[in-house]
Amino acid sequence: MRIEQQDGLLAEFIGTFGKFYELAEYADIYPIVAELAVGEPDDLGQTHWQPPGIETDSRCLDPLYAKLPGRFPLLYERFVLTYRWAEVDLGRYTLLANPPGPDLSRLLNEISKDPALWESLIPTGYIQFAKGSDYGHHHLRMGIRFRPAGPRRGLGLHDGDGILRHPQGLVEIHKEWMTRAYIVTFAFVTFRVFSDYGPTSHLKPVNDLWITLAWASWVVPLFITELIFQLRRMRKASARA
């Protein structure tokens, strides 16, 4: 896909900003909007903003790529080089900000703001670019897949996969959290097993026993579960190496 075609698609995408929710926020809560402000605050004290088209030198990507295992998909790369924006709700998801500045260091801060997610996604070849809508699945995080470092080429299916296939990189994370949820829910059954059967049922005094078992009924299974998760991660890491 030629640069002109990419720019046309991005212009259409930028045109959707503000169609779902007004581009107006309180600057004391979302300070980036003050840097993109158009006009004075309204009667409610909200600052209206627009995403400006700002050409950024492609060499500004080099410090980012030095910290990443790959490169952005070409269309997203072109996007961050030609526009700056605040965090914006687009209906089904909220796009993370690419704040104004002389380089793209603030973009790196936005996409790496969640350290746990960063450590989970980077090894799988993904990086966060959005999150669930503020009015919907606000705990959902969305990622794009890196493309291999190397010569630039046209936008192809592989780059499209970087956006279309992002849920697959989160399947294992989702499974782990679902397992933890089941373990905690099953604690009621574990408590009855500990309190009614086996050597733990004969411990005294009773009040202290119940407090201890209530704690152990979810802590011990979770500890074993986390140990299993860690062993699986180590085995996968060894296999990749």
CA dist 8 and 5 (Å) reads: 5
Residue 103 is predicted with a pLDDT of: 95
What's residue 198's pLDDT? 67
Domain boundaries, the chain: 3-166, 186-240
DSSP state of 54: -
Global model pTM greater than 0.75: no
Q: Which residues pair with 147 in a beta bridge?
A: 71
Which of 7-21, 140-154, 198-212 is most confident?
A: 7-21
Domain 3-166 belongs to what topology? SMI1/KNR4-like (3.40.1580)
Measured CA distances, 97 to 57, 66, 110, 122, 183 (Å): 18, 21, 7, 19, 36
In angstroms, the CA 149 to CA 24 distance is 38
Report, as an integer, the average pLDDT of 204-209. Answer: 75
Convert the pLDDT of each residue in 34-68 to its tens digit. 999 999 999 999 999 999 999 999 999 999 999 88
